[in-house]
């Protein structure tokens, strides 16, 4: 680890005074949540409306071979009525969703809770008419349009299980997910506009359906209106035609707390993507409580999470958490750089966004475009900034803090996973002293432990480094892998008995703050020294000329693994041998001699999934000169960047 002096940013007194939790409140609530989870969650479980109240709170077992997780198990509720109906009394006319389309043409829509109710009931009735009922699966393959939220909530209303597939995924990935869940209906759109280009979602769905082995219908939302090339009579239905005269009342189904709410596929280090299953009661309690506390959400705030509903972040923090809290949530169809790199800041200004939540990769990309795109907008509405998805390097954190937050907006670096349903390690903006790059402290009810990776021994105290595991269940935890409970146990509970294993490495410092170092499969071992690729990346991007860097291990005869760096430059900097040497020296200086890069390859672009995650698997193969074994590249946002990397690879 590098020995940088760590900056600390305590919450301001003013912020703390008005926050849901100041430091003392956090400490007290956290201690209570750990001392008596039944009492704590029994109380906070009441934040959602139950049809039949629960009498049992926690019933969970992490024992390998018999893992079983139940929360509030005898309670009944409906998620859609919690996200909509219960708000109609007080806030029927309040905006529930602000929809911002891809084109910056002033056609943003405000959808009130009353309107949301009608849309969702309509949609639910359409699904019923198509034969969907309790427990049936529905695949949602939509762009970021309000109908994506309506579809999710409509499923929840009638007790169907949705499986949202990111609209950037290929037909193959879609067909796997339709087959995997034997979905009765696939909901798509005629097209998905993003960054000025339109994806032919209906065309992709047609191709996916060729590989679907059971009878499934296709419901098509008209987004673009340019017509569709192919229409299968009997299988394909337009939403607007189905909705005609269907009626906008639909009684919510009474669901058990442990009935599945959704399946969401996520990739692991091995095998095909897993269908992560989240259930009804615990998930909603956890998503709504984390949304309120982590973002310090207050009535009247406009909240914006830039994720896509195709990811868990979109589920928990665009749709379920905010709507359960009666919030106003922004849904943005486009990308941060279209029509220019000021788009996000224009949206913040236009809608007076109070909480803004995005990924470090996005922050770094915008940072590289220059401050003028930020500075020309009025961002005075911002109260809290959030990040998620990967470790954030201190330079990006500082830029976010200084340039976007004007030095006075707390940053919450939220660590969590598809599997965890909601935030696990995060600052609370009125309570926690933040440090650039640290996800700081556990959320209520979360018991993180640092384990010695080989022995599994629990490392106590400060200044320890190991793998991150969680010692006990929390309400938002995934319950199983869809159709494969064995795989669930083997993936998360086998390696370290009695713990949920996160597959992340981490350190805990002397203040008890957690620092995620990245997936343990991204840890490289150089001459017996363990090093997070994120550490080297962080060093590289600390250099003025570098906008983004990805680092992988590469087989090395002497050191075991060497360090291979892919580097993208800031506008105005040109690749040169001189700059390369400068960067090698820079990293050596920043971290130490063992971190000296073996290779620096100039990369005009990095291979990313459509959610912005760098696909290191591909980078490792190219670095290892094994580009003939790249494996599945169908989830890449821009497959062409790989060709450039292969052509200019250095380890031939």
Helix, strand or coil for residue 155? helix
Select the residue interacting with ligand WT7 from 313, 398, 547, 568 (CB under 6 A). 313
Binding flag, residue 523, ligand WT7 (CB under 6 A): no
State the nearest-atom distance from the C-beta of 266 to ligand WT7, in Å: 5
170, 178 contact by CB (below 8 A): no
State the nearest-atom distance from the C-beta of 79 to ligand WT7, in Å: 19
Q: What is the DSSP string of 267-332?
A: --SSSSPEEEEEESHHHHHHHHHHHHHHTT--TT-EEEE-S-TTSHHHIIIIIIHHHHTT-EEEEE
426 is in an annotated binding site: no
416 is in an annotated binding site: yes
12 is in an annotated binding site: no
Measured CA angle at 317 (ends 313, 318), to 5 deg: 100
Select the residue interacting with ligand WT7 from 109, 114, 417, 648 (CB under 6 A). 417
Binding flag, residue 519, ligand WT7 (CB under 6 A): yes
Binding flag, residue 388, ligand WT7 (CB under 6 A): yes
Helix, strand or coil for residue 614? strand
CA 78/CA 99 separation, integer angstroms: 25
18, 430 contact by CB (below 8 A): yes
Binding flag, residue 418, ligand WT7 (CB under 6 A): yes
Stretch that binds ligand WT7, among 130-138, 404-412, 415-423, 600-608 (CB under 6 A): 415-423
Binding flag, residue 473, ligand WT7 (CB under 6 A): no
Question: Which residues 424-443 are close enough to bind ligand WT7 by CB under 6 A?
Answer: 439
Helix, strand or coil for residue 369? coil
Angle between the N-to-C axes of helices 113-129 and 146-158, in degrees from 0 to 180, rounded to the nearest 10: 60
Both tokens of 541, joined, read 């991007």
Both tokens of 512, joined, read 């008890």
190, 226 contact by CB (below 8 A): yes
Helix, strand or coil for residue 198? strand
Instruction: Supply the DSSP symbol for 251.
Output: P
CA 306/CA 331 separation, integer angstroms: 7
196 is in an annotated binding site: yes
504 is in an annotated binding site: yes
Measured CA angle at 608 (ends 602, 610), to 5 deg: 150
Stretch that binds ligand WT7, among 165-173, 207-215, 383-391, 453-461 (CB under 6 A): 383-391
Q: Select the residue whose beta carbon is closest to ligand WT7 and give its number.
A: 418
State the nearest-atom distance from the C-beta of 519 to ligand WT7, in Å: 5
Where is 278: in which H helix or E strand?
Answer: strand 274-279
CA 217/CA 570 separation, integer angstroms: 48
Binding flag, residue 390, ligand WT7 (CB under 6 A): yes
Bond into 20 cis (ω within 30) = no
Question: Which residues 339-378 are close enough to bind ligand WT7 by CB under 6 A?
Answer: none
CA 331/CA 351 separation, integer angstroms: 12
Stretch that binds ligand WT7, among 67-75, 368-376, 385-393, 541-549 (CB under 6 A): 385-393
State the nearest-atom distance from the C-beta of 520 to ligand WT7, in Å: 9
State the nearest-atom distance from the C-beta of 398 to ligand WT7, in Å: 16
Output helix, strand, coil percentages for the chain, rounded to the nearest 5: 35, 25, 40
CA distances from 504 to 249, 451, 549 (A): 46, 11, 20
Nearer to ligand WT7, 4 or 596 (CB): 4
313 is in an annotated binding site: yes
326 is in an annotated binding site: no
Nearer to ligand WT7, 40 or 317 (CB): 317
Binding flag, residue 85, ligand WT7 (CB under 6 A): no
Neighbours of 167 (CB within 10 A): 25
Both tokens of 453, joined, read 């990776």
Within 13 A of 246's CA, how many CA atoms are on the CB side? 21
Binding flag, residue 416, ligand WT7 (CB under 6 A): yes
CA 49/CA 307 separation, integer angstroms: 27
Q: Per-residue string for binding with ligand WT7, 260-289, x by CB under 6 A?
A: ------x-----------------------
Q: What is the DSSP string of 228-242?
A: -S---TTTEEEHHHH
Helix, strand or coil for residue 177? helix
Neighbours of 480 (CB within 10 A): 22
Binding flag, residue 450, ligand WT7 (CB under 6 A): no
Nearer to ligand WT7, 288 or 414 (CB): 414
The greatest distance separating any two alpha carbons of the chain, rounded to the nearest whole angstrom, comes to: 73
Q: Per-residue string for binding with ligand WT7, 133-162, x by CB under 6 A?
A: ------------------------------
Within 13 A of 518's CA, how many CA atoms are on the CB side? 21
445 is in an annotated binding site: no
Stretch that binds ligand WT7, among 130-138, 217-225, 365-373, 388-396 (CB under 6 A): 388-396
108 is in an annotated binding site: no
State the nearest-atom distance from the C-beta of 124 to ligand WT7, in Å: 28
Count of chain residues binding ligand WT7 (CB under 6 A): 19
Characterize 171-186 residue by residue with b for buried, 16 or more Cβ atoms within 10 angstroms of its Cβ, and e for exposed. Answer: bebbbbbbbbbebbbb
State the nearest-atom distance from the C-beta of 511 to ligand WT7, in Å: 17
Taking Cα atoms as reference points, which of 344, 393, 334, 385 lies closest to residue 364? 393
Stretch that binds ligand WT7, among 76-84, 119-127, 386-394, 587-595 (CB under 6 A): 386-394
Binding flag, residue 308, ligand WT7 (CB under 6 A): no
199 is in an annotated binding site: no
Select the residue interacting with ligand WT7 from 136, 504, 548, 598 (CB under 6 A). 504
Nearer to ligand WT7, 258 or 413 (CB): 413
Select the residue interacting with ligand WT7 from 414, 477, 561, 635 (CB under 6 A). 414
Binding flag, residue 389, ligand WT7 (CB under 6 A): yes
State the nearest-atom distance from the C-beta of 368 to ligand WT7, in Å: 20
Taking Cα atoms as reference points, which of 76, 83, 216 lies closest to residue 150? 83
State the nearest-atom distance from the C-beta of 312 to ligand WT7, in Å: 5
CA 467/CA 502 separation, integer angstroms: 8
Stretch that binds ligand WT7, among 60-68, 207-215, 512-520, 618-626 (CB under 6 A): 512-520
State the nearest-atom distance from the C-beta of 502 to ligand WT7, in Å: 6
519 is in an annotated binding site: yes
CA 229/CA 537 separation, integer angstroms: 45
Annotated binding site for CoA: 194-197, 313, 527, 588
Annotated binding site for ATP: 389-391, 413-418, 504, 519, 530
Binding residues (CB under 6 A) for ligand WT7: these are 266, 312-313, 388-391, 413-418, 439, 502, 504, 516, 518-519
Annotated binding site: 194-197, 313, 389-391, 413-418, 504, 519, 527, 530, 541, 543, 546, 588
Annotated binding site for Mg(2+): 541, 543, 546
């Amino acid at each position: 680890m590098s020995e940088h002096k760590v900056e600390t940013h305590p919450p301001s007194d003013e912020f703390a005074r008005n926050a849901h939790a100041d430091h003392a409140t956090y400490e007290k609530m956290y201690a209570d949540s750990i001392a008596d989870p039944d009492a704590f969650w029994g109380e906070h479980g009441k934040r959602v409306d139950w049809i039949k109240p629960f009498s049992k709170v926690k019933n969970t077992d992490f024992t390998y071979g018999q893992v079983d997780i139940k929360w509030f198990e005898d309670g009944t509720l409906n998620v859609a009525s919690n996200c909509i109906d219960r708000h109609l009394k007080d806030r029927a006319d309040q905006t529930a969703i602000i929809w911002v389309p891809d084109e910056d043409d002033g056609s943003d829509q405000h959808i009130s809770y009353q309107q949301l109710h009608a849309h969702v009931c309509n949609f639910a009735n359409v699904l019923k008419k198509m034969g969907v009922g309790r427990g049936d699966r529905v695949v949602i393959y939509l762009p970021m349009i309000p109908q994506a939220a309506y579809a999710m909530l409509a499923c929840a209303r009638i007790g169907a299980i949705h499986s949202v597939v990111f609209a950037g995924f290929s037909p193959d990935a879609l067909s796997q997910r339709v087959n995997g869940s034997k979905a009765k209906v696939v909901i798509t759109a005629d097209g998905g506009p993003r960054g000025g280009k339109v994806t032919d979602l209906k065309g992709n769905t047609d191709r996916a359906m060729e590989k679907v082995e059971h009878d499934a219908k296709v419901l098509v939302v008209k987004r673009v209106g340019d017509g569709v090339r192919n229409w299968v009579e009997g299988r394909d239905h337009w939403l607007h035609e189905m909705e005609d005269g269907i009626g906008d009342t639909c009684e919510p189904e009474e669901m058990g707390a442990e009935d599945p709410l959704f399946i969401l596929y996520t990739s692991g280090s091995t095998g095909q993507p897993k269908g992560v299953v989240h259930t009804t009661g615990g998930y909603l309690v956890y998503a709504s409580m984390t949304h309120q506390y982590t973002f310090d959400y207050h009535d009247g705030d406009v909240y914006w999470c830039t994720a896509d509903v195709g990811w868990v972040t979109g589920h928990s923090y665009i749709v379920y958490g905010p709507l359960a809290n009666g919030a106003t949530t922004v849904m943005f169809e486009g990308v941060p750089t279209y029509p220019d790199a000021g788009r996000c800041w224009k949206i913040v200004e236009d809608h007076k966004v109070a909480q803004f939540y995005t990924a470090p990769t996005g922050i770094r990309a915008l940072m590289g475009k220059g401050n003028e795109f930020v500075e020309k907008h009025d961002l005075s509405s911002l109260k809290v900034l959030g990040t998620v998805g990967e470790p954030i390097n201190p330079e990006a954190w500082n830029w976010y803090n200084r340039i976007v937050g004007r030095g006075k907006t707390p940053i919450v670096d939220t660590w969590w996973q598809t599997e965890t349903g909601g935030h696990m390690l995060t600052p609370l903006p009125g309570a926690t002293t933040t440090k650039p790059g640290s996800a700081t402290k556990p959320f209520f009810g979360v018991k993180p432990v640092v384990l010695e990776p080989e022995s599994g021994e629990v490392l106590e105290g400060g200044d320890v480094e190991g793998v991150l595991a969680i010692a006990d269940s929390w309400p938002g935890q995934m319950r199983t892998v869809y159709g494969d409970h064995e795989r669930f146990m083997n993936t998360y509970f086998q390696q370290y008995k009695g713990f949920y294993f996160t597959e992340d490495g981490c350190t805990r410092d002397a203040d008890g703050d957690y620092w995620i170092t990245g997936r343990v499969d991204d840890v490289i071992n150089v001459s017996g020294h363990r090093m997070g690729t994120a550490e080297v990346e962080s060093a590289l991007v600390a250099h003025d000329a570098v906008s983004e860097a990805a680092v992988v291990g590469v087989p090395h005869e002497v050191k075991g693994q060497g360090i291979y760096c892919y580097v993208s430059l800031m506008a105005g900097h040109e690749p040169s041998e001189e700059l390369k040497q400068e960067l090698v020296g820079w990293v050596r200086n920043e971290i130490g001699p063992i971190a000296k890069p073996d290779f620096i390859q100039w990369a005009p672009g990095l291979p990313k999934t459509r959610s912005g995650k760098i696909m290191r698997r591909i980078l490792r193969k190219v670095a290892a000169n094994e580009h003939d074994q790249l494996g599945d590249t169908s989830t890449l946002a821009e497959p062409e960047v790989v060709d450039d990397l292969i052509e200019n690879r250095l380890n031939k």
